[in-house]
Structure 1
Amino acid sequence: MAQISFQNVSKTYAGGKSAALTDLNLTIKDGEFMVLVGPSGCGKTTALRMIAGLEEITGGTLKINDTVANDLAPRDRDIAMVFQSYALYPHLTVGENIAFGLKVRGAKSEDVATKVRETAALLELTEFLERKPARLSGGQRQRVAMGRALVRSPNAFLMDEPLSNLDARLRGQMRAEISRLQRMRAVTTVYVTHDQVEAMTMGHRVAVMNKGTLQQLDSPRRLYDSPVNMFVASFIGSPPINFMEAILVAHEGGPALRIGPFLLPLPASADRLSPRIGGKVIAGIRPEAFKVTDGPAGPGTLSAKVLFVEDLGADLLLHLDSGEISMGHADMTEDDRDVMKSSPKLKASIDGSHRVSRDETVNFTIDPNAILVFDADTGVTL
């Protein structure tokens, strides 16, 4: 088993002009399932490849347990990696693919056979041991790739977007399978993905990355409830959060948000924002915080016209015309303007029992405790 730590680790390319990672400080505990999540180019795969020894470190220190691993050869790290492409040998059977790493390391034939049988049983691959990869489904191939890693009992597993080539149903099955295996083996696991659903459902902790920097490291629930900035709020949660320009105003002795023609009171815990009354902020409201109401419009309610309805069975996803609500702000950072441009209309996720039609104007109540408030200039959570 292994504890893996990054200490001020950096990676630059092109003579130091292009930074893939900047001062990454991250400790992955022994036996932990850590997920690195973020958009393409955020540095998550670079960090993973550094652990494996496939990427040189420009600055800082990488430790595996108490050993500095910056210059340690990949074969000396006892790390198993599962790739996005599966990387199976097409001319070998399932059993031979699983056994390959053990044979390369000179394991005894009887030990190899025993471990292959045990691993195949664990992954429900016993009946496929004599088949070639071409005769397997995508999910079965992924399990073989995992088996090749599991059979070695390594210090740590590294998984680089292993489910991205599977359809939605298989991804769901394999998420549960990988989580089950990790719990059984209690092996340190670092899992890279751009899919926030995988991050939220699989990781003990999740590291959200953007442009080579660690934005927030926390449990999935804390990332959802208490994001540190607009980027994390936008990346965690599906459907994505709604951002709206707002003015902080006083209402019945406490702060409230004036969003276009609507007034949304904030909870008592928002008293700390009182010194900012009169200033511009960004309001963040998740789609599931919208509750349909038949009552009149007033404080705590928001009205919008339905542009399109996605019937998802248990839920309806409403695409709403934001009307007089401004969705952008000139003083925001470039990153946060990009976040807001990506969702120029509001979205509301409501119970599927409601009957809502296109072009209908709907009133919603908004739970004050579900409203996030961000600095309009920096995007930092207030």
Structure 2
Amino acid sequence: MAEITFENVSKTYPGGKAAALTDFNLRIEDGEFIVLVGPSGCGKTTALRMIAGLEDISGGTLRINDKVANDLAPRDRDIAMVFQSYALYPHLTVAENIAFGLKVRGAKPEVIEKKVRETAELLELTEFLERKPARLSGGQRQRVAMGRALVRSPNAFLMDEPLSNLDARLRGQMRAEIARLQRLSAVTTVYVTHDQVEAMTMGHRVAVMNRGTLQQLDTPRHLYDKPANMFVASFIGSPPINFMEGELTAHEGGPALACGPLMLPLGEAGRRLSSRRPGKVILGMRPEHMKIAPEAGSGTFGARAAFVEDLGATLLLHMDEHGIAIGHANMVEDDRDLMTTVPKLKALVDSSHRIQRDDRVHLTIDPALILLFDPATGAAV
């Protein structure tokens, strides 16, 4: 297996206006399943291709098992890559596609046959071994591509958005399948995706990237509960988080947050802010943490349901006329400010409330679940 380390790695393309990677540091443990996630152009695929030896390194050091790999040829790295496009040979059968890498390396026929059979059983492809790719579904083709990588028993697997060509139902099945195979094989795996759902459900750890830099590396749960900054908070979580302009103040002898008409006493949750002076903050409230209050009161504010998405078990409310300056959490792929004012606030509530369009509701949130950020730097408070 492989341990992979980036040490202050950078990448600048000729004529590029900005670096694809800047001072990138990441240690991938032996046998770990790590996910690189971020918006288009954040540098995640560049980092993956560097591991494979398909991309030159402008600066810094890449190590594979403590061996400097900056100038190591791809064939000498013993790494298998699964591409977004499957990259199967259409004129070869499933068995021949899986066996291709072994044949190129001169493996003995009996070894090839045994490994192909074992891999096909693992991937539930035994009955399709004599078929060609044109007669397979998208999910089956993806499993063949994985089988071609798995059969080699490489030091590491590299996966570049392998599920993006599949429909939503099949993506869910393949997420579980890939995670299962990684557990069984215990091979170091680096998985690139722009889909935060894939990142949160598959990886042991997740590296959130933006504009060529590593924003935060942590477990999925910790990324959700304690994001390092506004970018991570906005990228992790669906529906996206609500950002609001607020002020840390005092109310009835204790710390509180004033946010438009909302005065939210912090109670025990305010202890972590005891050393912070009163002043402006950015308040982050995840839609799923917001609750419907039976009536107006302390810690609640009223809003109108401008649009209601009925999702079956839940309702996604798009609220307006709430008097709060809201930030648009989707604006993470370009240079626009996360705090651009827009009229909608989102709340994900139980469908038992039977809320209709134009209904007025009262919303509240547990102070222990809010997130606070510095308005000057965007860093978590």
Give the structure 1 partner of residue 258 of structure 2: 258
Kindly tell me: are residues 45 and 243 of structure 1, through their superposed partners in 2, closer, same or farther at Cα, counting changes over 3 Å? same
Query: Distance between the aligned counterparts of 1:283 and 1:150, measured in 2?
Result: 46
Deviates more, 1:10-19 or 1:230-239: 10-19
Judge conservation of contact 2:261–2:323 (CA < 8 Å) in 1. Answer: yes
Give 1:299-318 correspondences, 5 Å limit: 299-318=298-317
Structure 1 residue 368, shift from structure 2 partner: 0.3
Query: Distance between the aligned counterparts of 2:269 and 2:222, measured in 1?
Result: 17
Structure 1 residue 216, shift from structure 2 partner: 0.3
Query: Distance between the aligned counterparts of 1:347 and 1:16, measured in 2?
Result: 38
Give 1:189-338 correspondences, 5 Å limit: 189-274=189-274, 276-294=276-294, 296-327=295-326, 338=337
Query: Distance between the aligned counterparts of 1:365 and 1:167, measured in 2?
Result: 36
Deviates more, 1:170-179 or 1:10-19: 10-19
Under a length normalisation based on structure 2, what TM-score does the superposition of the two structures give? Answer: 0.95
For residue 108 of structure 1, what is the amino acid of its counterpart? Answer: K
Give the structure 1 partner of residue 24 of structure 2: 24
Structure 1 residue 300, shift from structure 2 partner: 1.7
Give 1:28-107 correspondences, 5 Å limit: 28-107=28-107
Give the structure 2 partner of residue 111 of structure 1: 111
Query: Distance between the aligned counterparts of 1:61 and 1:338, measured in 2?
Result: 34
Structure 1 residue 352, shift from structure 2 partner: 2.1
Deviates more, 1:340-349 or 1:114-123: 340-349
1:221 is paired with a residue whose SS is helix
For residue 307 of structure 1, what is the amino acid of its counterpart? Answer: A
Query: Distance between the aligned counterparts of 2:321 and 2:175, measured in 1?
Result: 36
For residue 4 of structure 1, what is the amino acid of its counterpart? Answer: I
For residue 316 of structure 1, what is the amino acid of its counterpart? Answer: L
1:140 is paired with a residue whose SS is helix
Give the structure 1 partner of residue 8 of structure 2: 8
1:209 is paired with a residue whose SS is strand
Question: Which ranges of structure 2 fall in alignment gaps of 5 or more residues?
Answer: none
Judge conservation of contact 1:230–1:336 (CA < 8 Å) in 2. Answer: no
Deviates more, 1:232-241 or 1:11-20: 11-20
For residue 146 of structure 2, what is the amino acid of its counterpart? Answer: M
Judge conservation of contact 1:281–1:376 (CA < 8 Å) in 2. Answer: yes
Kindly tell me: are residues 315 and 334 of structure 1, through their superposed partners in 2, closer, same or farther at Cα, counting changes over 3 Å? closer
1:376 is paired with a residue whose SS is coil
Give the structure 1 partner of residue 127 of structure 2: 127
1:124 is paired with a residue whose SS is coil
Judge conservation of contact 1:94–1:132 (CA < 8 Å) in 2. Answer: yes
Structure 1 residue 322, shift from structure 2 partner: 4.9
Query: Distance between the aligned counterparts of 1:198 and 1:342, measured in 2?
Result: 30
Query: Distance between the aligned counterparts of 1:60 and 1:208, measured in 2?
Result: 20
Structure 1 vs Structure 2 CA RMSD: 1.9
Structure 1 residue 278, shift from structure 2 partner: 4.2
Kindly tell me: are residues 342 and 311 of structure 1, through their superposed partners in 2, closer, same or farther at Cα, counting changes over 3 Å? farther
Kindly tell me: are residues 342 and 240 of structure 1, through their superposed partners in 2, closer, same or farther at Cα, counting changes over 3 Å? farther
Deviates more, 1:235-244 or 1:278-287: 278-287
Query: Distance between the aligned counterparts of 2:177 and 2:342, measured in 1?
Result: 33
Q: Deviations over 1:275-326 (max 9, x none)?
A: 65542111000001111121x3222212211011111111111111153111
For residue 369 of structure 2, what is the amino acid of its counterpart? Answer: A
Kindly tell me: are residues 175 and 322 of structure 1, through their superposed partners in 2, closer, same or farther at Cα, counting changes over 3 Å? farther
1:297 is paired with a residue whose SS is coil
Residues paired across the two proteins, number:
378
Matched, 1:366 2:380: no
Query: Distance between the aligned counterparts of 2:239 and 2:335, measured in 1?
Result: 18
Judge conservation of contact 1:262–1:302 (CA < 8 Å) in 2. Answer: yes
Structure 1 residue 273, shift from structure 2 partner: 3.1
Give the structure 2 partner of residue 185 of structure 1: 185
2:363 is paired with a residue whose SS is strand
Judge conservation of contact 1:38–1:194 (CA < 8 Å) in 2. Answer: yes
Query: Distance between the aligned counterparts of 2:237 and 2:376, measured in 1?
Result: 23
Q: Deviations over 1:88-119 (max 9, x none)?
A: 11111111111111101111111111111110
2:70 is paired with a residue whose SS is coil
Judge conservation of contact 2:50–2:57 (CA < 8 Å) in 1. Answer: yes
Query: Distance between the aligned counterparts of 2:167 and 2:106, measured in 1?
Result: 37
Judge conservation of contact 2:159–2:190 (CA < 8 Å) in 1. Answer: yes
Identical positions, percent: 77
For residue 325 of structure 1, what is the amino acid of its counterpart? Answer: I
Kindly tell me: are residues 272 and 123 of structure 1, through their superposed partners in 2, closer, same or farther at Cα, counting changes over 3 Å? closer
Q: Deviations over 1:337-364 (max 9, x none)?
A: 5334497511111112221000001112
Judge conservation of contact 2:80–2:156 (CA < 8 Å) in 1. Answer: yes
Question: Which ranges of structure 1 fall in alignment gaps of 5 or more residues?
Answer: none
Judge conservation of contact 1:11–1:19 (CA < 8 Å) in 2. Answer: yes
